[in-house]
Structure 1
Amino acid sequence: MPCLFAIFALATPRLVILCLYFLSNWFNGLFPTPLYAILGFIFLPTTLLWYTAVVHWFGGQWTLWPVIGLVIALAIDVSPASHRRRVRAPVD
């Protein structure tokens, strides 16, 4: 079940953020201002999820594995493949 949730989170991070926000207290007290959470939701949703996971599960300590996870989350969010959802028309 946790593996299915992880796959679902990678496929639709914004939906997971909304579910966590409305159905739990996952985001309470993590950010000094709601602006950071809103910007993360819009621009870097996977990185926002990973940041909150590090704060909750690792106690906010940025050791080797949380940093590796952050790099992977940033790569997922800013990769060119995540912005190319359209199929290209063949060139004549």
Structure 2
Amino acid sequence: MPILLLLLGFFFPRVVIVLLYLFTGWWRAAFDSILWPVLGFLFMPLTVLWYGISETYFPGNVQTIGLVIAVLLDLGLIGGGARQRRR
């Protein structure tokens, strides 16, 4: 089941964010206000998903490395992005 959730989170991060918000309570522990999760949901869903998960489950440097990777994926610097699709 966790592997399925991981794959669903990679391909459909907004769906996983909504499901986790509705069915778990750990979003309240990761964020102080509702502003950052909403902005992350709109603009950088993988980053906000990783931050919410890592605040709960992973301490230390793993959190930072994963956050950098999530930001790069959201910005399209990993995986080709629009430039690759234009060719």
TM-score class, shorter: 0.7 to 0.9
Determine if contact 1:76/1:82 at 8 Å carries over to the other structure.
no
TM-score (norm 2): 0.79
Superposition RMSD in Å? 2.2
Inter-CA distance 41–53: structure 2 relative to 1 (3 Å threshold)? same
1:69 to 47, 50, 66: 66
What does 1:1-92 align with in structure 2 at a 5 Å threshold? 1-58=1-58, 61=59, 63-79=60-76, 84=82
Structure 1 unaligned residues grouped into runs of 5+: none
Distance in 2 of aligned mates of 1:82 and 1:17: 24
Distance in 2 of aligned mates of 1:4 and 1:68: 22
Distance in 2 of aligned mates of 1:29 and 1:56: 8
The structure that is helix-richer by fraction is 2
Determine if contact 2:40/2:48 at 8 Å carries over to the other structure.
yes
Determine if contact 1:41/1:48 at 8 Å carries over to the other structure.
yes
TM-score (norm 1): 0.75
Q: Which moved more, 1:47-56 or 1:75-84?
A: 75-84
Amino acid paired to 1:77: D
Amino acid paired to 2:64: V
Structure 2 unaligned residues grouped into runs of 5+: none
Bigger Rg, which one: 1
Determine if contact 2:47/2:71 at 8 Å carries over to the other structure.
yes
